[in-house]
Chains A and B, each alone.
Chain A
Amino acid sequence: NAGVMQNPRHLVRRRGQEARLRCSPMKGHSHVYWYRQLPEEGLKFMVYLQKENIIDESGMPKERFSAEFPKEGPSILRIQQVVRGDSAAYFCASSSQGGYGYTFGSGTRLTVV
């Protein structure tokens, strides 16, 4: 069981480019969550998805950010027209049921230059 796999581990983008972050949940997990962590801070919730459905996107900025979890393949967090303030570590977690048994990936560290 490979756990939650996130790629890439590190991503550098120039301002205005698009960033695509991928998350493959643990086998058997159908719930996926994305969190963002700024330096010296805790994780902040962005979006909660189940297969093909967005359950809660209340933590995600209305513009430039989108997330999907298709029937086949990994969950994708997309950030369009990145700005310096988007630089952060983005973590994905998965669970087999809401509220319990979260497993986190190692994160993607996005740097916008």
Chain B
Amino acid sequence: SQQGEEDPQALSIQEGENATMNCSYKTSINNLQWYRQNSGRGLVHLILIRSNEREKHSGRLRVTLDTSKKSSSLLITASRAADTASYFCATVQRDRGSTLGRLYFGRGTQLTVWP
């Protein structure tokens, strides 16, 4: 089963508003990553947060991680029409004897930003 689950499945906002997407996961993780995918294209890495970090910023992006609740959020401030895309969280599990490497993806949040 998928490790990460994003919420909401779809989000529609106006330019200038903030967009918040949430991600929940099930097992202990080494790190959590957020990716963006434009329609019909590959994934672009946005930001990585390690399990011992609580918050990280990158430009208009802010990511939080709560390992006690096994959840993360991605905030995009002052959204633009060009931010329209699908956003995925992906986790890397703690090594339990298996090799650290594979990403577990959620189904994604489809963000639409209207001009």
B80 CB to nearest chain A CB (Å): 23
Structural contact, B101 and A42, CB atoms closer than 8 A: no
CA distance A74 to B82 in the complex (A): 33
Task: Say if the beta carbon of B99 comes within 8 Å of chain A.
Answer: yes
Using known A-B contacts A41-B107, A102-B33, determine if residue A55 contacts B99 with beta carbons closer than 8 Å: yes
Shortest distance from the beta carbon of A69 to any chain B beta carbon, whole Å: 13
Q: Are A45 and B31 neighbours in the complex by a CB distance under 8 Å?
A: no
> What separation, in Å, do the CA atoms of A106 and B100 have in the docked complex?
24
Cβ of B81 within 8 Å of any chain A Cβ, yes or no, is: no
How many residues on the A side are at the interface (Cβ–Cβ under 8 A)?
Answer: 26
Interface residue range, chain B: 20 to 34
> Would A104 and B44 count as touching, CB distance under 8 A?
yes
A25 close to B (CB within 8 Å):
no
For window 92-112 of B, CB contacts with A under 8 Å fall at 92, 98-108
Among B35, B43, B100, point to the contact of A99 (Cβ < 8 A): B100
Chain A nearest CB, measured from B10 CB (Å): 11
Does B42 sit within 8 A of A, measured CB to CB? Answer: yes
Assess whether A45 is in contact with B99, with CB atoms less than 8 Å apart: no
CA A61 to CA B98, docked complex, whole Å: 19
Q: Which residues of chain A come closer than 8 Å to B102, judged between CB atoms?
A: 33, 45, 48, 56, 59
In angstroms, Cα B100 to Cα A102, docked, is 13
Asked if A98 lies at the interface with its beta carbon under 8 angstroms from chain B, I say yes
Given A91-B43, A99-B92, A106-B41, the answer on whether A56 and B103 have CB atoms closer than 8 Å is no
Decide: A56 and B105 in contact? CB cutoff 8 A. no
In angstroms, Cα B2 to Cα A105, docked, is: 21
Q: Choose among B30, B42, B98 the residue that contacts A107 (Cβ–Cβ < 8 A).
A: B42
The interface residues of chain B lying within 8 Å CB-to-CB of A104 are: 35, 42-45
Least distance between B29 CB and chain A CB atoms (Å): 10
A-B residue pairs in contact (CB < 8 Å), sample of 11: A33-B101, A42-B88, A42-B105, A43-B90, A95-B101, A99-B30, A100-B48, A104-B43, A106-B41, A107-B41, A109-B40
Q: Which residues of B contact A (CB under 8 A)?
A: 2, 4, 30-31, 33, 35, 40-45, 48, 88, 90, 92, 98-108
